[in-house]
């Protein structure tokens, strides 16, 4: 089949590779209808990925059709349209049985497309392990594009907002307005935020945030503006959706006493200069991590079904899988209004 494969920094190409095959009774093979490029795929693209492997298929966001199932799969049938969780659990340990796959006690933290260990889904087909847990039939009323947003990015934005203790009446700052940050603006609003600051150096992204109801701010002036507007109280909840050290530092400065800071941007720093004394004086809560995607679905699915969330509008480009190389370049350059990039095999 055709697949986007990693051959080195800025060298992801659409090449042939072996078709995926069932490796266990609980696997399913999914023919991919649509797959997405995620901001965290750019880490790999830049050669700052999570493995030394070469040639593996990348990508961890996809929807498609079941074409084959192992004998131990009972919730899915050939022909079902499914959405695949970017987080992968064993499906048998207590954590997974309770829906918390990111906390899987067996394969903790597994994800498609990070190495040759589990091939990615920017391809014509993908193998899903423990398919009853890691994929789900697309619920009635959801389009393929909407379901695709549920496989990772919308779920992550939602999780990041929950981790920031956003609640009705609270004020919020979102640091970073890529697709996930913009969706975090939407999520914060839906959770009842009274006021949302949207912070990004790119003016076009700030404009999008403003259209969603956020107060747009440039990172350079954000701190002073928020300080003045709140008479020094700062904001209740901060979501960092960048992953860079400066962005986390800004997030920590934006939070009020007893405020909460939630980091969902991928950060691999081993020695971040954490302002411990100040955090002690302020009484901060700091949360960081990735989400157990299906755990967020029960809240998100009805919100999409009823039209209150419309994540598909953050899709800026839909291209052919064979154009994947160009799609990565475009996304990396933030060119042409690139937000969510979708590929079709």
141 binds a copy of itself (CB under 8 A): no
Question: Six-digit token pair at 73?
Answer: 């799969």
133 binds a copy of itself (CB under 8 A): yes
Q: Cα–Cα distances in Å, from 44 out to 63, 185, 205, 232? A: 21, 26, 23, 40
Given 17, 67, 81, 108, the residue binding a copy of itself (CB under 8 A)? 108
Strands 135-137 and 81-84: antiparallel
Identify the residue whose tokens are 């070469």.
Answer: 54
303 binds a copy of itself (CB under 8 A): yes
H/E segment holding residue 15: strand 12-16
Smallest Cα–Cα separation from 120: which of 14, 236, 25?
14
* Cα 30 to Cα 66: distance, rounded to the nearest angstrom: 5
Strands 315-320 and 340-344: parallel
Given 98, 202, 203, 210, the residue binding a copy of itself (CB under 8 A)? 98
Q: How far is the CB of 179 from a copy of itself (least distance, A)?
A: 19
333 binds a copy of itself (CB under 8 A): no
Residues 188-247 that bind a copy of itself (CB under 8 A): 190-192, 194-195, 233, 245
Given 8, 52, 228, 306, the residue binding a copy of itself (CB under 8 A)? 306
Size of the site for a copy of itself (CB under 8 A): 72
Q: Given the rule CB under 8 A, which of 2-10, 31-39, 145-153, 167-175 is the region that contacts a copy of itself?
A: 167-175
Residues 247-286 that bind a copy of itself (CB under 8 A): 248, 257-258, 263, 266-286
Give me the helices (H) in 98-202, please: 131-134, 144-150, 153-163, 179-190
Identify the residue whose tokens are 């619920």.
Answer: 139
Q: Which is nearer to a copy of itself, 294 or 324 (CB)?
A: 294
52 binds a copy of itself (CB under 8 A): no
DSSP code for 269: -
Q: Which is nearer to a copy of itself, 287 or 322 (CB)?
A: 287
150 binds a copy of itself (CB under 8 A): no
Given 42, 81, 109, 322, the residue binding a copy of itself (CB under 8 A)? 109
* Cα 275 to Cα 317: distance, rounded to the nearest angstrom: 40
């Amino acid at each position: 089949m055709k697949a986007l494969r990693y051959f080195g920094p800025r060298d992801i190409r659409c090449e042939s590779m072996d078709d995926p095959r069932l490796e266990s009774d609980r696997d399913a093979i999914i023919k991919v209808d649509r797959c997405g490029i995620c901001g965290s795929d750019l880490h790999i693209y830049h050669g700052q990925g999570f493995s030394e492997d070469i040639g593996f298929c990348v990508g961890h966001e996809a929807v498609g059709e079941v074409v084959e199932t192992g004998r131990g799969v009972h919730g899915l049938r050939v022909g079902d349209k499914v959405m695949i969780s970017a987080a992968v659990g064993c499906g048998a340990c207590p954590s997974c049985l309770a829906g918390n796959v990111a906390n899987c006690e067996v394969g903790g933290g597994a994800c498609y497309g990070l190495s040759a260990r589990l091939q990615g889904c920017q391809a014509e087909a993908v193998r899903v392990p423990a398919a009853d847990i890691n994929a789900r039939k697309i619920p009635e009323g959801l389009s393929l594009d909407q379901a695709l947003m549920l496989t990772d990015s919308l779920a992550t934005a939602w999780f990041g907002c929950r981790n920031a203790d956003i609640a009705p009446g609270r004020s919020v700052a979102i640091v970073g307005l890529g697709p996930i940050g913009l969706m975090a603006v939407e999520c914060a609003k839906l959770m009842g935020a009274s006021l949302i600051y949207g912070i990004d150096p790119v003016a076009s992204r700030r404009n999008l945030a403003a259209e969603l109801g956020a107060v747009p701010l440039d990172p350079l002036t954000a701190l002073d503006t928020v300080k003045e507007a709140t008479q020094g109280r700062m904001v209740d909840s901060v979501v960092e959706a960048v992953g860079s050290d400066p962005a986390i530092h800004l997030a920590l400065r934006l939070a009020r006493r007893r405020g909460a800071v939630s980091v969902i941007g991928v950060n691999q720093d081993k020695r971040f200069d954490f302002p411990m004394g100040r955090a002690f004086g302020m009484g901060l809560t700091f949360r960081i991590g990735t989400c157990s995607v299906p755990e967020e679905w029960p809240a998100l699915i009805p919100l999409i079904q009823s039209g209150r969330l419309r994540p598909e509008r953050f899709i800026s480009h839909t291209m052919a899988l064979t154009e994947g190389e160009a799609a990565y370049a475009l996304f990396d350059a933030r060119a042409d209004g690139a937000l969510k990039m979708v590929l079709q095999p």
